[in-house]
Amino acid sequence: MSLLEQCYASGRGELVDTIEARKEGGTVSHLYCSGYQDRICGTEDGRVLTFVAMAMDLALPKNDNSAFQNLILGLDNVTGEVQEVVEEAKADGDRFIITFRRYLAEDLSYPAERYRMTLLSREYEDDVAKLTAGFYDLLNTTGNRLILTATRAPGLKYV
């Protein structure tokens, strides 16, 4: 039984949820964590990041075989930073990537759970930013393939 499973079963231990958000190809990551104190956490690729504490609520994707596995985030948007970052990426037409990591407070060196998703929709209400993210190209099936578009294959627009 993993430490995370023990934490769920016993009700003991503190879970730390973190969000790393950036636009695709961007070098700047926006780092947030749930709770009242900033956290320094290690990632799966060996980086050590400082996450800024923020009021956060989330609904994790269902653990089933349906095609609707979305992560829904509610983030504090009092300063407007979240909205500014998301709208900048959308205005540029870039894909916005959200990496959710869940840590045990006793071990912040490596995430216990991790999801990497693409922003699908956003909604701003009062002081809350509601973001919905979903899996995008989960198996990288388009990796080395030529994707046919109406520009490459003009006959497609008549199909």
pTM of the model: 0.75
Burial of 81 (0-12, 13-18, 19+ CB in 10 A): middle
**What would the mean pLDDT of 34-56 be, rounded to a whole number?**
91
**What gap in Å lies between CA 2 and CA 143, rounded to an integer?**
33
Sort strands 48-54 and 30-34 into parallel, antiparallel or unpaired. parallel
If one compares 138 and 95, the residue with the highest pLDDT of the two is 95
Matching CATH number, 3-158, of 2.30.110, 2.40.10, 2.60.40, 1.10.8: 2.30.110
Is the pLDDT at 126 greater than 90? The verdict is no
Give the tens place of pLDDT for each residue, 56-74. 888 887 776 666 678 888 9
pLDDT in the model for residue 101: 92
What's the average model confidence in pLDDT over 76-88? 84
pLDDT of residue 31: 92
**Residue 2 confidence (pLDDT) above 80:** no
Q: How confident is the model at residue 9 (pLDDT cuts 50, 70, 90)?
A: low
As a residue count, the chain comes to: 159
Provide the CB-side half-sphere exposure for 106 (13 A, CA): 7
pLDDT tens-place string over residues 18-35: 999 988 888 888 999 988
If you average pLDDT over each of 77-86, 123-132, 139-148, which comes out highest? 123-132
pLDDT band at 112 (very low <50, low <70, confident <90, very high): confident
Place of tokens 């509610």: 74
HEC string of the chain? CCHHHHHHHHCCCCEEEEEEEEECCCCCCEEEEECCCCEEEECCCCCEEEEEEECEEEECCCCCCCCCCEEEEEEECCCCHHHHHHHHHHHCCCCEEEEEEEEECCECCCCCEEEEEEEEEEEEECCEEEEEEECCCCCCCCCCCCCCCCCCCHHHHHC
